[in-house]
Amino acid sequence: MGVVRPIAIELEVTDAVAGTGVIEGDLRLPADARGLVIFAHGSGSSRHSQRNQMVAAHLNEAGFATLLFDLLTAAETRVDDRTRELRFDIGLLARRLLSACDAVATRPDTAALPLGTFGASTGAAAALVAAASRPLETRAVVSRGGRPDLAGDALPGVQAPTLLIVGSRDSQVIELNEVATSRMTCEREITIVPGATHLFEESGTLEAVARLAVSWFVRHLKPPA
């Protein structure tokens, strides 16, 4: 792998609890990056998610820049740890994802990169809602063990090619992904990882997710002609 430059990012956002707050992100930028993938983590997680960091490392190896960031502010996280309600506020999570998209669009080192999103659990729904609201910006979406069904009425508006990765032993989520894809009109594909449960903790299953994600983004995140 070539040199990957780590960059810390802070975004000021409207806080659902305290009025205003800051969310933090970790941008990793390979030399001559071919695209940028923004991660929307799952329920109760953060930019420190080891699973997302592992997938991001594979994407960096393939020449993609990655941005992992916190969807909630510190104040919101404290509330969510008690109530678990904000992690299911898909509208809020999607707005935070769009704030991250706006931030990288103003940076000279990332503005020209084709943009994709990678969502896990409820983060996948946020990624799809964001993609539907910005159809000309989001070029591809990948979901890992996601809840795309929570994107609701935004699903028909998604235009970005979407890959939904689900574990073979996560039967309920497989059904929810099938329901969601039936409402979508874009290019979409469900891929089942054999032997995997919801968190892809089994040996080799997360590596399979990373390979699938890299392949999807290589296919769809291409610079404009």
Q: How many domains does the chain have?
A: 1
Q: Is 70 exceeded by the pLDDT of residue 1?
A: no
Identify any residues that bridge with 13 across adjacent strands, giving them in sequence order: 21
Q: Is 70 exceeded by the pLDDT of residue 127?
A: yes
Mean pLDDT (whole number) for 20-32: 94
**pLDDT digits 0-9 by tens, 91-122:** 999 999 999 999 999 999 999 999 999 999 99
Task: Identify whether 225 is part of a domain.
Answer: no
Helices and strands, number each (H, E), in the chain: 6, 8
Residue 56's identity, in one-letter code, is A
Q: How confident is the model at residue 225 (pLDDT cuts 50, 70, 90)?
A: low
Residue 27's identity, in one-letter code, is L
Tell me the residue range of the domain where 10 lies.
4-220
- What CATH number is given to the structural domain containing 208? 3.40.50.1820
Q: Is 70 exceeded by the pLDDT of residue 224?
A: no
**pLDDT digits 0-9 by tens, 143-163:** 999 999 999 999 999 999 999
Task: Identify whether 174 is part of a domain.
Answer: yes
Residue 205, CA distances (Å) to 20, 144, 192, 208 in order = 39, 11, 10, 5
